[in-house]
Structure 1
Amino acid sequence: KVGEKVGEKVTENQNKIIQFILKNPEISAKELSSLVSISSRRIEENISKLKKKGLLKRIGPAKGGYWEVTK
């Protein structure tokens, strides 16, 4: 699991989000919501937490950009 490597606690949903982003860095919050089976708002909250932990960052604009898993 990604979080174990950096000593951060990562929830099950956050780990799923990271795994889907690794497979498809251009995935949207709406697509993640469908795949993880939680609301788009919860996806955004989890992404925000992952960004604060330094595990995820957004490259480029909201449309046309992509996600990068940093650790």
Structure 2
Amino acid sequence: MGVQALEHIDVSRGDPMDKAHKNEGNVVETYAFGNTSIKICDDYIVTDERVDLILQKFHEVGWKIILSKEEP
């Protein structure tokens, strides 16, 4: 059985996370774990309203999952 890779969309920003759309921000710190590197940027500012909206969406999706497991 084959598996098809799907494009990953960033939940909070809604943009594709592939190399073609990758942009380098203002990197303030870099961590390396084996073959993985993590770059921390300070150029993406999120308003409190946006954070609240994202958390609300997570909450709604979480409850949908919980309620779907309770149904027979």
Q: Same fold (TM over 0.5)?
A: no
Flag the structure with more relative contact order, 1 or 2, with Cα contacts below 8 A and sequence separation at least 6.
Answer: 1
Larger fraction in helix: 1
Larger fraction in strand: 2
Instruction: With the length of structure 2 as denominator, give the TM-score of the two structures.
Output: 0.28
Instruction: With the length of structure 1 as denominator, give the TM-score of the two structures.
Output: 0.28
Structure with higher Rg: it is 2
